[in-house]
Amino acid sequence: MKSERFNAYRLMCILIFFDLPTETKKERKAYTDFRKKIMADGFQMFQFSIYLRHCPSMENAEVHIKRVQKILPEHGHIGIMTVTDKQFGMMQIFNGKKLVEPISTPQQLEMF
In the chain, count of helices (H) and strands (E)? 4, 6
Q: How far apart are the first and last CA of the chain?
A: 15
Per-residue model confidence as pLDDT tens digits over 2-37: 545 556 678 999 999 999 999 999 999 999 999 999
Please report the beta strands in 20-65, taking only residues with DSSP state E, as ranges in sequence order. Answer: 44-47, 50-55
> What pLDDT does 23 receive?
97
- On whether residue 9 sits in a domain, the answer given is yes
Domain count, the chain: 1
CA distance 70 to 101: 33
- On whether residue 107 sits in a domain, the answer given is no
- On whether residue 75 sits in a domain, the answer given is yes
CA distance 48 to 85: 21
- The CATH number covering residue 94 comes to 3.30.70.240
Q: What pLDDT band is residue 97 in, cutting at 50, 70 and 90?
A: confident
CA nearest 84: which of 15, 3, 21? 15
Domain that holds residue 42: 2-100
Whole-model pTM: value is 0.80
- On whether residue 110 sits in a domain, the answer given is no
Per-residue model confidence as pLDDT tens digits over 38-96: 999 999 999 999 999 999 999 999 999 999 999 999 999 999 999 999 899 898 889 88
